[in-house]
Chains A and B, each alone.
Chain A
Amino acid sequence: MLPLNCLGMRCPLPIIESAKALKTLVTGDQISLQSDDPATWVDLSAWARMSGNEVLQIDKTNFLITKKR
């Protein structure tokens, strides 16, 4: 699992950083994202729907991304 610290970044930066990091991974790999921007979960969910990947909210600032394609 790849840790990704985006604390303090404003959207869309956490989404951009997550997408960049995902490119280095293979299907099934996961990213543990930390982000405190209030739009993170809404935008991460929309990004997952559009890109075909999976996301899970662990708590307010921690998210799990699974590469599906």
Chain B
Amino acid sequence: MALGLLGDLYQRGWRDPTKIHLPSAELAILITDAKASLAKHLKISPNEIEVISDLNLGFHLGISGLLHSNSRLIHSAVDRQDIFAIARAHQNNGGEVQVCNCDLTGVIDYAAIKPSDKNVIVWQSCNRETGVKQSATRALENISTTGSKIFADMTFANFRSEPPVNWSTALWDATSWGGPKGIAFLAIRNGVNWVNPLPHIDMERVSNGFSIPLFLASVVALENSNKDFETDSLRILELNKRVRGFVAANIPDADIAGNIEDSDPRKLSISFLYIQAEELLRNLEKSGYLVDSGSACSAADLAPSHVLAAMGILTHGNIRLTFRADMTIAIVDQFLTALKTEIELARLD
């Protein structure tokens, strides 16, 4: 629906909402209404939201805006590379960095954090490679976060999940609920000591250079996802369980990342022993299936997925599956048959 509306949104959204003309004022009202709807769904205040057009920039603004030169930045071994880059920059500027490891199921050891009011903690809601979710209550209940600042990475979270109670900044990605790429939402909690780490020219917290039509489309996508959330979630869970069950019963030597109980069912990462991922991906594409991988041979830098490596999961022969509610059981079954055949053929070699 958001895609169908884009033409109309571009018709209405090209104007400058800060001008005094009536169409501009109408657009400004539309933006305000959209922000209110977004805030309601994400359970934050509308005045805490900043719309940005670059997700990577969102990590920098959200984390670096909380840091001081004497801060200790704490993040996990399974965080996105953007966060590692911010940590390296902080370290190069004399700051302290602590990396929390995770176990075989992907649960991050936040208990290793030493309480301090210098802490800036990066908390990951859900891993975009494996779908493994972190429980804020379980993760942070045993450590004192008094005085700490928390950046919540909500970029792959299901939009109904909430950041930890004492979050300072949080980042959402519109693609996580089916919105367009190029729109992210940075929330800066009211009262939090946050400073824009970039040079800026006016009183705006961050630059408002985002695409208004894409922003409006992302809010429409969120509202639509919310309508069908329960049925879609159940359907996706069923598909994920089906793949896990089939692989466990029919394809030996497979390493599945994370338990279904602690994972978002939209993602599934499986590694197959003795299999070259690149060859598997090419053969699956010939059969009509586009599949992603975290294996080294499919990455530009020839490095295996740091997420799988941190978990201790096999990094070669890896596939990452994404499930959508419009996928049928028949299509998933056809894919599984193709997957089994390709793996058996490859292992014969």
Name A residues whose Cβ lies closer than 8 Å to a Cβ of B: 10-12, 15-16, 19, 38-39, 42-43, 45-47, 49-51
Residues of B contacting A45 in the complex (Cβ-Cβ under 8 angstroms): 312
Q: Does B290 contact A (CB under 8 A)?
A: no
Residues of A within 8 A of B253 (CB): 50-51
Q: Mark interface residues in B270-297 (1 if CB within 8 Å of A CB, else 0).
A: 0101111000000000000000000011
Instruction: Report the minimal beta-carbon distance from A37 to chain B, rounded to whole angstroms.
Output: 8
Would you call B313 an interface residue if the criterion is a C-beta within 8 Å of the partner chain's C-beta atoms?
yes
User: Is A16 within 8 A of B274, CB to CB?
Assistant: yes
Asked if B315 is at the interface of the complex by the 8 Å CB criterion, the answer is: yes
Q: Does the CB pair B296–A10 fall under 8 Å?
A: yes
Flag if B315 contacts A39 (CB, 8 Å). Answer: yes
Among the listed A16, A19, A38, A50, which residue makes an inter-chain contact with B304, where contact means beta carbons less than 8 Å apart?
A38
What is the interface residue range for chain B against chain A?
A: 20 to 34
- Across the interface, do B314 and A43 meet the contact criterion of CB distance under 8 Å? yes
| Nearest A residue (CB) for B313 | A46
Roughly how many angstroms separate A51 CA and B252 CA in the complex, as a whole number? 11
Interface residue ranges of B150-199 to A (CB < 8 Å): none
What are 21 A-B contacts with C-beta separation under 8 Å?
Answer: A11-B296, A11-B316, A12-B273, A12-B274, A15-B273, A15-B274, A15-B316, A19-B274, A38-B304, A39-B304, A39-B315, A39-B316, A42-B308, A42-B309, A45-B312, A46-B313, A46-B315, A49-B312, A50-B253, A50-B255, A51-B253
B106 contacts the other chain (CB 8 A)? no
Distance in Å from the Cβ of B285 to the closest Cβ of chain A? 20
CA distance A5 to B3 in the complex (A): 55
A10 to B317, CA, bound (A): 12
In Å, the complex CA distance between A11 and B275 comes to 9
> Which chain A residue lies CB-closest to B253?
A50
Smallest beta-carbon distance B156→chain A, Å: 23
Query: Distance in Å from the Cβ of B273 to the closest Cβ of chain A?
Result: 6
Min CB distance A25 to B, Å, is 18
* B302, B313, B314, most chain A CB atoms within 10 A: B314
State in angstroms the CA–CA spacing of A62 and B306 once bound together.
22
Closest 4 CB pairs of A and B: A12-B316, A46-B314, A39-B304, A42-B309
Contact of A46 among B255, B296, B302, B303 (CB under 8 A): B255
Select which of A19, A42, A50, A51 is within 8 A of B315 by beta carbon: A42
Residues of B within 8 A of A16 (CB): 274
